[in-house]
A = this chain, B = another copy of it.
Amino acid sequence: MVNNLVQTTLLNCSLETKLIEAYHQKVNEIHRYLETTNDLTGWVEYPFQNHDNLLLEIENAANEIRTVADVLVVAGIGGSFLGARAIQDALTPYFGNAKNGIEVIYVGQNMSGAYINQLIDYIKDKEVYVNVISKSGGTMEPALAFRVMRQYMEERYGKESIERIIVTTDAEKGLLKKMADNSGYRQFVIPSDIGGRYSVLTPVGLLPIAVAGIDIRALMQGAKVAALEMQESDLEHNHAYQYAVTRHMLYEQGFKIELLASFEPSLNKFHEWWMQLFGESEGKQKKGLFPTCVNYSTDLHSIGQFIQDGSPILFETLLHFHEIEGDFSVPFDTRNEDGLNYLSNRTFNEINAISKQGTALAHADGGVPVIQLELPKLDAYHLGYLIYFFMKACAMSACLLEVNPFDQPGVEAYKRKMLELLQEEKVTT
């Protein structure tokens, strides 16, 4: 049963038998807690449940949108935004629109007037659908964006706008649920026991991902395999827990920053999903590793200097996929003025993989602990697997820190301040 699709290699840090023994019991206890508590752990069992009807419904909606629309505008922020965009970016082409000509554009994740102004202009000659995603409907940024998009759709499409707006929200509660019922919009449900940053494998992520042309069944299948493997409570056989314990150990040793690094630029947005998952789960009670990310080769010629030789406060987690679709051979050049003919029997992906090895060795030489996570292939199946791997590792890691992996009390602070300022102005104007 235990295949461990993620292969873990450690450089400059170790998970010795002694340490495994020291953490063994605690990991076991937390494992049991995550399996039995009802505190927003719906995501743990979710991949085992039968979602056939739901997936069919999502695929039908996605096919309808892909047939009728040129653009799907998705309004959401945080966990209602980062996951879908991560998978979309990882698996759609670098240039131009997605394969079948439909664009998925996000809104409500920022408050830029220029952005929304230009968006409205950009879509004016295109057929549009809207998907608004919010558990409560009460978060200001996506709520304001949806207010704009809803009015736009009503003015442009009249009654047909009802068919073109799809709401992803709670089954029972909240402002957005009420609006959806009042207007008769199609609805997808966010399970009430799954928090935002653990929700990418629910309709929150699945609808935009399916519209982007990605195989959501492969994604779910990968997650299911991961969920099966990670039912293993034993630290020695559970790679997600090994990752969690290793990073926790490095934190205890005084490292302040975990740097997630990839060599494929399409993973940049996946990094941002990971940052929210770990930062929001662990960054509380004045604790936690600061999660940040880099993309190589770009950042080897930027922050690379700091990693190699600056303040010794960080460790690196190198994420690598062995197989990536699409490659290019280095051409032979009779002139050989650049002296690179010795690489002309190579492809870029091969050289990139060697650059990854070189980087790991150089950084380890520089005293930076390196965790290598390797997967066979960059595709929906393995990303589904990796998402679940990271969620399980993150919950374990936060529990090792003795903080709640599922709340985010600090996010409320700026909301309150902003509301105070806006309300003050409301009184004075």
Contact = CB atoms under 8 A, between A and B. Distances in A.
Contact of A324 (B114, B182, B422): B114
A359 interface: yes
A399 to B, nearest CB: 16
Given A118-B326, A297-B110, A421 B357 contact: yes
Interface string A121-144: 010000000000000010111011
A68 interface: no
Contact of A411 (B112, B119, B301, B339): B301
Contact of A178 (B272, B337, B413): B337
A185 interface: no
A198 interface: no
A228 interface: no
A295 interface: yes
A313 interface: yes
Given A310-B286, A359-B418, A429-B345, A111 B351 contact: yes
Interface string A313-355: 1100000000011111011010101111011010111011011
Q: How many copies does the complex hold?
A: 2
Contacts of A425: 354
Given A338-B175, A358-B417, A111 B263 contact: yes
Nearest to A111: B352
A137 B420 CA distance: 56
Given A118-B95, A263-B112, A333-B151, A340 B81 contact: no
B429 A77 contact: no
Interface string A243-266: 000000000000011000001111
B305 A411 contact: yes
A77 to B, nearest CB: 5
B286 A309 contact: yes
Nearest to A148: B331
B355 A418 contact: yes
Given A338-B175, A354-B425, A141 B297 contact: yes
A94 to B, nearest CB: 5
Interface stretch (A27-35, A274-282, A382-390): A274-282
25 contacts: A77-B297, A78-B301, A81-B301, A111-B348, A111-B349, A111-B352, A112-B324, A112-B352, A113-B328, A140-B340, A144-B330, A151-B331, A279-B302, A283-B305, A283-B310, A284-B310, A290-B310, A300-B414, A305-B409, A306-B410, A308-B413, A355-B418, A358-B414, A358-B415, A362-B417
Instruction: Enumerate the 3 nearest inter-chain pairs by beta-carbon distance, A residue then B residue, closest first.
Output: A283-B306, A283-B310, A78-B301
Given A109-B301, A110-B297, 19 more contacts: A78-B301, A94-B119, A113-B324, A113-B348, A114-B264, A120-B328, A147-B333, A148-B331, A182-B337, A256-B257, A256-B311, A284-B306, A286-B310, A300-B411, A306-B410, A308-B414, A358-B415, A358-B417, A362-B417
Interface of A: 77-79, 81-82, 93-96, 105, 109-120, 122, 137, 139-141, 143-144, 146-148, 150-151, 175, 178-179, 182, 196, 256-257, 263-266, 272, 275-276, 279-280, 282-292, 295-298, 300-314, 324-328, 330-331, 333, 335, 337-340, 342-343, 345, 347-349, 351-352, 354-355, 357-359, 361-363, 365-366, 408-411, 413-423, 425-426, 429
